[in-house]
Amino acid sequence: MTIEKLKKGGRIEVMPEDLASQIAAGEVVERPASVIKELIENALDASASSIEVDISLSRRRMRIKDDGYGIPPGQLKTALARHGTSKVYRRDDIFGIGTFGFRGEALPSIASVSRLTLTSHAEGEPEGSQIIVEGGEIKSVEAAPPIGGTELLVENLFYNTPARRKFARSDSTEMTHITSAVINSALSFPQKRFSFVKDKKQVLRLSPAKTLRERVGQIFGIEYAEKLIEINFREGEMLVFGLAGTPDFNRATSIDQYFFVNERPVKDTLIRMSTARAYFDLLPRGRKPVVFLKLSLPLESVDVNVHPAKTEVRFSEPGRISTAIVEAIRKGLGSSAVPVMAQTRKSFNNSDDQNVRISSSHLTSITGRPSAKGGFERSFELWSKPLREDGLLGANEPPLSSPAHGRLSPTAIPIGQIFKTFLLIEDGDSFFILDQHTVHERILFERFMAKLSGRQIERQKLLVTETIDTDSIKASLILSNLKTFDELGWTLEPFGKSSFVIREVPALLVGKNYTEAVKELSETIEGNRELDFKEMVSELVSRMACRAAVKAGDSLSLKEISALVEDLGKTELPYTCPHGRPVAVEISRDSLYKDFLRPS
């Protein structure tokens, strides 16, 4: 049907049922991974404790089996009818949806573009039943053995929609999406058992895990899981919890960001941006944090009926959600910065025989190279340290130093300074090297931000005012941001066409080059127009802290070193400077003993 024909008065008709079903299927079933996602969610809604996924893309065959409560024989046809559902009965039900599925679209949509065999046995029934549907048409309904749960076999997906098959990606790409769907579901419900097989080779076998950290360890490896800190924050009926990476554990992309709302995996812009805000002054620009974040909310406060695939949600109080996420992550990071002498090593049961079995050779073909520590790594960005070019550093051999936070114990002993840049501190069984500039930057940044939030910025009037001359573009920029400068402790007055008189400066910058500081701040505003106001202010304060902090090359006494270390320990997030550079690295006594061939 062309636009020209419509303009000439094409007749309006109701679509045939099979055509309407195929169009509906296009919204729900985008690719093979969509089928896996929908059928796993059906199994979870059926209270399954064990879910098996068995696929062969080359044979165009996918099988999902669960041990849920099953479907009674007389309801198989209804389950495959459009909008046949056991989850929503009244209009008011859609305002408090607590299940994954609710529209009754997934099964009929899948059946309309494939050959689907559904076998199910409901508890208490003497036998099971089976229905076969091809292209939306029921081929047979008959009795079946009592299998205990439900099994769905999907074959020849998109066989009757050639256009959809034409746009299908390669098997390896589709496999990546399927793997992601299985992992998302396994992370949603750590207490469930999952098995994932491809072409008769075991990819994942996950036994029930007691915690999210244990499940992350099963999938990604123990060392990976141990780099994450606990998040647990409650505000009224809202709970924000999960795991978050320390600032040194980050990515070039958002591949390792998993978000869940009431156990539903979601791709939500608000949660993603709030997470980024929580790490704004902790990561180098362009780097992404690693997070496994879950939100538990009253059902009526979140709308899951936004997207056909149910991967997007809408919140009734987005501002409150965003604030809670930022506070939850930052409080978790702050409380995890425990002095080294008070730390205890995290551990959890992760037996290869009991909790996770992984076909390493098969994972290589799917996601990258196998991990020696369990779990898997992706070839496009391995989280572990790279090997040396000469190959002498083994994959499991730890480096001499590792990133560390700067909150040391009260008994830490300052040793001195090297290269007039780094501070040396002994603390328990570890030796710390701190960057004096980044340490001071973090201290000054947090002090200034605290005073800014309390409107207690200290100002210094200049006995002799200074004049800054700029071009017309920068003058216009400064003029339009005089209020922002004022909030940061500056009093600037226009003087002529493109000049300004500096009458007051922040006490933080007393004795510094004021005209250069104003120029740098105006350039920062100009180069970061895409940031929201809070992020812009944070960026401006970080620039001021950088100017005010001690520099590489400044000599410090032991007393000054002790004061810096003590002040750093009082900061909220003693991990990095506001630009994301680490404040400290740690060298353990054992690693030194090993390098000098001494028995530990």
Q: What is the pLDDT of residues 237-249, one digit of tens each?
A: 999 999 999 999 9
Stretch 396-420: mean pLDDT: 85
Question: Is residue 365 predicted with pLDDT exceeding 50?
Answer: no
Q: Whole-angstrom Cα distance, residue 302 to residue 300?
A: 6
Question: Is residue 5 predicted with pLDDT exceeding 60?
Answer: no
What tens digit of pLDDT does each residue of 80-133 get? 877 656 554 455 545 556 677 555 577 888 888 899 999 999 988 989 999 999
Specify the 3-state DSSP secondary structure of 487: helix
Q: Which residue has the higher pLDDT, 136 or 384?
A: 136
Q: How far lies 328's CA from each of 250, 277, 293, 295, 336, in Å?
A: 18, 12, 10, 11, 12
Question: Is residue 551 predicted with pLDDT exceeding 50?
Answer: yes
Q: Whole-angstrom Cα distance, residue 366 to residue 370?
A: 10
Q: Can you give the pLDDT at residue 372? A: 40
As a whole number, the mean pLDDT across the chain is 84
Tell me how many degrees the CA angle 338-341-345 measures, rounded to the nearest 5. 75
327 sits in the region (left: phi over 0; alpha: psi -120 to 50; else beta) called: alpha
The two structure tokens encoding residue 68: 């849920």
Q: Which residue has the higher pLDDT, 400 or 185?
A: 185
Stretch 509-513: mean pLDDT: 93
> Which residue from 313, 332, 277, 362 is spatially nearest to 534, judged by alpha carbons?
277
With beta carbons less than 8 A apart as the criterion, state whether 587 and 403 touch: no
* Dihedrals phi, psi of 332, to nearest 5 degrees: -65, -45
What tens digit of pLDDT does each residue of 408-418 get? 999 999 999 99
Q: How far lies 59's CA from each of 56, 98, 154, 486, in Å?
A: 5, 36, 11, 68
Q: Can you give the pLDDT at residue 89? A: 46
Q: Can you give the pLDDT at residue 398? A: 56
Stretch 538-556: mean pLDDT: 95
pTM: 0.82
Q: What residue ranges in 135-227 does DSSP mark as E strands?
A: 137-144, 149-155, 193-198, 201-206
Stretch 560-588: mean pLDDT: 95
- pLDDT class of 403 with cuts at 50, 70, 90: confident
- Give me the architecture of the 222-342 domain, per CATH: 2-Layer Sandwich (3.30)
Q: Which residue has the higher pLDDT, 365 or 575?
A: 575
- pLDDT class of 163 with cuts at 50, 70, 90: low
Q: Can you give the pLDDT at residue 502? A: 96
| Percent of the chain's residues with pLDDT above 90 | 60
Q: Whole-angstrom Cα distance, residue 554 to residue 420?
A: 6
What would the CATH number be for the domain defined by 401-600? 3.30.1540.20
- pLDDT class of 9 with cuts at 50, 70, 90: low
Homologous superfamily of domain range 17-168: Histidine kinase-like ATPase, C-terminal domain (3.30.565.10)
Q: What does the DSSP assignment read for 46-58?
A: TT-SEEEEEEETT
Q: Can you give the pLDDT at residue 381? A: 37
Q: Which residues contact 407 (CB under 8 A, 6 or more apart)?
A: 337, 338, 339, 568, 569, 571, 574
H or E segment at 404?
A: strand 401-404
Q: Can you give the pLDDT at residue 333? A: 96
Q: What are the structural domain ranges in the chain?
A: 17-168, 222-342, 401-600
Q: At what angle do helices 558-569 and 436-453 cross, to 10 degrees?
A: 50
Stretch 527-551: mean pLDDT: 90
